Amino acid sequence: MSLIVQKYGGTSVGDVERIKNVAQRVLATRDEGNQVVVVVSAMAGATDHLIGLARQISTVPDAREMDMLLASGEQVSVALLAMALHELGCTAVSMTGPQAGIFTDASHTRARISRIATERVMDRLGNGHVVIIAGFQGRSETDEITTLGRGGSDTSAVAIAAALKADCCEIYTDVDGVYTADPRLVPEARKLNAISHDEMLELASLGAKVLQSRAVEFAKKYSVPLVVRSSFNTAPGTWIVKETDQMEDVVVRGVSLDKNQAKITFLHVPDRPGVAATIFKHLADQTINVDMIVQNISEQGKTDVSFTVPADDLERSLRVSREIAGLVGAADVSANSDIAKLSAVGVGMRTHTGIAAKMFGILSEAQVNIAMISTSEIKISCVIPKHQADQALRLVHNGFGLGAGENPAAEN
Ligand code: ASP
Ligand code: MG
């Protein structure tokens, strides 16, 4: 008998019909002779709706009360799913995160799971129940309800699978799996059979919203077999696996685009020790998340320093930057939101050379100007004009042979 953890996202439990459909799937898995633990998100839109209500009352709602509010979304979907299973004659019981023994630290609205006390879940499984657990939530050691940050149900599912030593963790969502690129932007994109943890982490942090990064980190750390599949069909999905030597044969596993970026430039700052330290210390103090940084060659003792921030933070970042400009003696601060970050990811970059040159070549042929570049061992990112980004993404994708009929890592 296998123990399987299944996680269903918000769209998969978006209405009553879909909840009934999930119940059928859960029952089918149980009837194959497995023990099943189900983790669910709030019904699609429910969390956003709750946040909207809070905002109508307060611009800075108390974080503890926010968690009290947000945790209610998942409580609705677990109870409804349990009822749907009962209707099918299946013994099932729902539990909140705290009831399921999920302990977290005390940082409200972005808590991290610290331990899971599995007795209650194991006990019910042993009695033949399907156990349905509310994702995205837990309790602190002082018995406060906490939530794990947006998209946190993925992390709940993988952490529960790790704690229960489940045979696998299946993440059911509204896409078939992980693709070589966003299929809405690149029609030639293909579904991957498998992707390594590190590649998935890079793609997740680059804006591919298939899985929460924390979930992938957990899966890697605790070796949880993890698969992303659609809840609307029976396609096999994409496995997120431990890296193998063979995986390096494919140089680029996937490409991604992040259009949620903006660039700020400090113009003509004195080129002397301490300037960068001052700028980025002040930004960090305001919890502004800086991504790429580029400093120009200095001319006559002055230089330009540019960096990217999330587009949502642009206003705030500009305000802070203008204050810092005076401190460091910059002539001016400028902003540009017509930018996007295009990235190529693949563990094969560790052993192959010339990948960056090839990417730059594809972009130059298409007359796309590169404003910034950053690399890691398995990733190359270029900041390019946003208005050319979709076209550039497709060219880079196909240029690296990820298109139809060419990609040995993808499925037909
Ligand atoms: N309901 C939460 C959210 O919308 C958690 C999740 O869906 O994973 O972010
Ligand atoms: Mg979600």
**CATH number, domain with residue 396:** 3.30.2130.10
Indicate the residue among 151, 174, 197 that finishes a domain: 174
* Res 204: pLDDT: 78
Q: Whose CA is nearest to atom 4 of ligand 1?
A: 47
Residue ending a domain, choose from 174, 189, 224: 174
Q: Which residues line the pocket of ligand 1, CB cutoff 6 A? A: 10, 41-42, 47, 73, 135-136, 150-153
Q: How far is the CA of 47 from the centre of ligand 1 (A)?
A: 6
- Of 129, 149, 174, the last residue of a domain is 174
Q: Residue 147, Cα to own-chain centre: how many angstroms?
A: 16
State whether 15 and 157 are in the same domain. Answer: yes
Angle at which helix 314-328 crosses helix 275-285, to 10 degrees, equals 140
Residue 177 CA to residue 301 CA, distance in Å, equals: 51
Q: Do 8 and 118 share a domain, yes or no?
A: yes
Tokens (6 digits) for 353: 């050379």
The reply to whether 291 and 156 lie within a common domain is no
What pLDDT does residue 405 have?
60
Q: Determine, yes or no, domain membership for 168.
A: yes
Contact 291/308 with Cβ under 8 angstroms? yes
Residue 120 lies in a domain: yes
In this structure, the answer to whether residues 260 and 154 fall within a common structural domain is: no
Q: Clarify whether residues 13 and 149 are in a common domain.
A: yes
Tens-digit pLDDT string for the chain (412 aa):
899 999 999 999 999 999 999 999 999 999 999 999 999 999 999 999 999 999 999 999 999 999 999 999 999 999 999 999 999 999 999 999 999 999 999 999 999 999 999 999 999 999 999 999 999 999 999 999 999 999 999 999 999 999 999 999 999 998 899 999 998 999 999 999 999 999 999 987 766 678 889 999 999 999 999 999 999 999 999 999 999 888 988 899 999 999 999 999 999 999 999 999 999 999 999 989 999 999 988 889 999 999 999 999 999 999 999 999 999 999 999 999 999 999 999 999 999 999 999 999 999 999 999 999 999 999 999 999 999 999 999 999 999 999 866 555 554 3
Report the atom number in ligand 1 closest to the C-alpha of 154.
8
- Quick check: is 211 in a domain? no
Q: Is the overall model pTM greater than 0.85, yes or no? A: yes
301 class by beta-carbon count within 10 Å (0-12 exposed, 13-18 middle, 19+ buried): exposed
Residue range of the domain that includes 298: 255-407
Give me the amino acid identity at 229: R
Q: How many residues are recorded in the chain?
A: 412
Residue 309 belongs to some domain of the structure: yes
Q: Give 110's DSSP letter.
A: S
pLDDT tens digits along 15-31:
999 999 999 999 999 99
d(CA 263, CA 306): 7
Q: Which atom of ligand 1 is nearest to the CA of 73?
A: 1
- In the prediction, which pLDDT does 409 show? 54
**Centroid of ligand 2 to alpha carbon of 121 (angstroms):** 23
pLDDT of residue 280: 96
Mutate to test the pocket of ligand 1, among 78, 153, 214 (most ligand atoms within 8 A of CB): 153
- Number of domains the chain contains: 2
Calculate how far, in angstroms, residue 375's C-alpha sits from the geometric centre of ligand 1. 31
pLDDT in tens, 245-285: 889 888 999 999 999 999 999 999 999 999 999 999 999 99
Residue 82 counted as domain residue = yes
Looking at the structure, tell me whether residues 142 and 277 fall in a common domain.
no
- Residue 391 falls inside a structural domain: yes
| 192 in any annotated domain | no
**Do residues 264 and 139 both lie within one domain?**
no
Q: Three-class SS of residue 259?
A: coil
Q: Are residues 137 and 284 in the same domain?
A: no
Q: What is the largest CA-CA distance in the chain?
A: 80
Asked if 16 and 161 sit in the same domain, the reply is: yes
What distance in Å separates the CA atoms of residue 317 and residue 290, rounded to the nearest whole number? 10
Ligand nearest to the CA of 75: 1
- Which atom of ligand 1 has the smallest separation from the CA of 148? 5
Give the H or E element holding residue 332.
Answer: strand 332-336
Q: Choose which residue among 150, 156, 171 to substitute to test ligand 1 binding: the one with the highest number of ligand atoms within 8 A of its C-beta.
A: 150
Domain assignment of residue 336, yes or no = yes
Q: From ligand 1's centre to the CA of 207, what distance in Å?
A: 16
**Closest-lying ligand 1 atom to the alpha carbon of residue 136:** 5
> Do 284 and 162 share a structural domain?
no
The pLDDT value recorded for residue 412 is 37
pLDDT at position 404 is 67
Residues 261 and 161 reside in one and the same domain = no
CATH of the domain at 39: 3.40.1160.10
Residues 16 and 133 in one domain: yes
Residue 230 CA, ligand 1 centroid: distance in Å: 17
